[in-house]
């Protein structure tokens, strides 16, 4: 691909001396799991987000699982969530013994449609799990209001939205807890797996810290069945480097999105994503109203990489298809979405090449 959908290497080059310094520090410290480096990342991430506690874990998936358990979600409970997300969102709900209840999306935002939540509530509903898909914050005010009215917990899936804001506040700090992923392609990504739980609740933080370390506060004094889900010191050190740049990187993503918006305005058969404040554009995802897969193939022939996030909505996957849900907006989105090359190091030249190619195949 002349313009790959995601290219990690320019960023590595840009950060090289800082990453090398972090590597030397950790390798010579002799401590490679948790420890002072992870504690420093947790302090710095908590300060950045404006939240009381940040807890480093092994992955975004584990952040969801551990946060759900710390919030008291378990066997027999139902959790309202979106079908238009990465599998891990629902998988985490199933892993704690609860059932995901899929509610359709708002076609303008690709996020949970708050209007559809109340009709889906049952006496077993325990929590709502909105996802800030592609870096665009979900409509949190009505979600929080419904949760308050019905005594439900709210866990935000922020895997694609580090630094995104909703009405001026960072996502991951609005509900009872937020789960972040540091998977390398995420907008704050490490160089391996990693994740983080954010919460203002002391009890939830305490449980999450226990659960990530085999359910123990004190080594060999396990109080519950937990996980081996500790963050590595090397990843924490690399993430501390990247945290210092995340605002600049997110700002550059927004600039790339604004340029796409300008160059792709008015192309027939194409619908552009909303350019709203607070969106960090983990992905720049358009809708191709007809024959999306043929457009993607034509772009690939021009050397332009694209991705479909996600081709099958979760309620249509073999794991969940038996639930028989019909969610037309999620199904339509799965047929139409196409994510274009995006990242803080995408050059203006490459961006123009993508826009030209898309205009070309649109005609
Ligand atoms: C990436 C992602 C996850 C899972 O994160 P991992 O770190 O890969 O485990 C969960 N939810 C969403 C929406 C994601 O994009």
Residue 4 maps to a domain: no
Residue pair 253/342 in contact (Cβ under 8 Å)? The answer is yes
User: What is the pLDDT at residue 362?
Assistant: 59
According to the model, what pLDDT value does residue 324 have? 81
Q: Read off the CATH number of the domain in which 26 is found.
A: 3.40.640.10
State both tokens at 134: 């592609």
CA distance 127 to 323: 19
Series of mean pLDDT values for 10-residue runs along the chain (363 residues): 92 98 98 97 98 98 98 98 98 98 98 98 98 98 98 98 98 98 97 98 98 93 95 98 98 98 94 95 97 96 97 96 91 98 96 94 65
Q: Is 181 in the pocket of ligand 1 (CB under 6 A)?
A: yes
Q: Does 290 fall in a domain?
A: yes
| 54 bridge partner residues | 198
Counting ligand 1 atoms within 8 A of each CB, the residue from 6, 183, 197, 232 with the most, and so the one to mutate, is: 183
Instruction: Check residue 325 and give its pLDDT.
Output: 79
3 belongs to a structural domain: no
Residue 204 shares a structural domain with residue 237: yes
Same domain? For 263 and 238 the reply is no
Last residue of a domain, one of 243, 262, 277: 243
Measured in angstroms, how far is the CA atom of residue 88 from the centroid of ligand 1?
6
**Ligand 1 neighbour 60 (Cβ under 6 A):** yes
Q: Is residue 86 a part of any domain in this protein?
A: yes
**Looking at the domain assignment, is residue 227 inside a domain?**
yes
Cα–Cα dist 350/340, whole Å: 11
Are 273 and 221 part of one and the same domain? no
Whether residue 127 is found in the same domain as residue 173: yes
Instruction: State if residue 88 touches ligand 1 by the CB under 6 angstroms criterion.
Output: yes
The reply to whether 237 and 251 lie within a common domain is: no
Give the residue numbers spanning the domain of 197.
Answer: 9-103+110-243
Query: Could you say which of 211, 243, 275 is where a domain stops?
Result: 243
CB distance 127 to 68 below 8 Å? yes
Ligand 1 contacts CB of residue 61 (under 6 A): yes
pLDDT at position 361? 84
**89: Cβ below 6 Å to ligand 1?**
yes
Locate the ligand 1 atom nearest the alpha carbon of residue 195 and give its number. Answer: 7
Residue 58 in contact with ligand 1 by CB distance below 6 A: no
Nearest-atom index, ligand 1, CA of 131:
13
| Chain Cα centroid distance, residue 293 | 24
Total domain count for the chain?
2
Half-sphere exposure of 279 (CA within 13 A, CB side): 22
Q: Are residues 159 and 281 in the same domain?
A: no
Tokens of 284: 């720049």
Residue 198 shares a structural domain with residue 307: no
158 plus 232 within the same structural domain:
yes
273: in domain: yes
Choosing from 225, 243, 261, the residue where a domain stops is 243
What does 176-211 look like in DSSP terms, one character per residue?
A: SEEEEE--TTSTT--SS--EEEEES-HHHHHHHHHH
pTM > 0.85: yes or no = yes
Model pLDDT, residue 336:
98
């Amino acid at each position: 691909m002349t313009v790959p959908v995601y290219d990690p290497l320019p960023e590595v080059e840009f950060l090289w001396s800082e990453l090398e310094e972090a590597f030397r520090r950790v390798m010579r410290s002799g401590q490679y799991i948790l420890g002072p480096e992870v504690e420093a990342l947790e302090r710095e991430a908590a300060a950045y987000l404006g939240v009381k506690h940040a807890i480093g874990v092994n992955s975004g998936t584990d952040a969801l699982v551990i946060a759900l358990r710390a919030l008291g979600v378990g066997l027999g409970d139902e959790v309202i969530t979106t079908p238009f997300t990465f599998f891990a969102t629902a998988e985490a709900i199933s892993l704690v013994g609860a059932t995901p209840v899929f509610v359709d999306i708002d076609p303008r935002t690709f996020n949970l449609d708050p209007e559809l939540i109340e009709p889906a509530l049952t006496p077993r509903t325990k929590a709502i799990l909105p996802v800030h898909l592609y870096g665009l914050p979900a409509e949190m005010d009505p979600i929080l209001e419904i949760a308050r009215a019905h005594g439900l917990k709210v866990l935000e899936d922020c895997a694609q939205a580090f630094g995104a804001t909703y009405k001026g506040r960072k996502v991951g700090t609005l509900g009872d807890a937020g789960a972040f992923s540091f998977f390398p392609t995420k907008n704050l990504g490490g160089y391996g797996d990693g994740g983080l739980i954010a919460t203002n609740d002391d009890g939830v933080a305490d449980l999450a810290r226990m659960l990530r370390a085999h359910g123990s506060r004190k080594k060999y004094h396990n109080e519950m069945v937990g996980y081996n889900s500790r963050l590595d010191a090397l990843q924490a050190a690399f993430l501390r480097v990247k945290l210092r740049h995340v605002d600049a990187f997110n700002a550059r993503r927004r600039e790339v999105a604004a340029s796409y918006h300008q160059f792709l305005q008015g192309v027939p058969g194409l619908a552009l994503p909303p350019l709203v404040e607070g969106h960090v554009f983990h992905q720049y995802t358009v809708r191709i109203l007809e024959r999306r897969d043929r457009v993607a193939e034509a772009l690939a022939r021009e050397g332009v990489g694209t991705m479909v996030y996600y081709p099958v909505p979760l309620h249509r996957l073999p794991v969940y298809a038996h639930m028989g849900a019909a969610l037309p907006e999620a199904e339509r989105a799965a047929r139409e979405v196409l994510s274009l090359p995006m990242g803080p190091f995408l050059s203006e030249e490459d961006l123009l090449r993508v826009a030209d190619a898309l205009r070309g195949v649109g005609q």
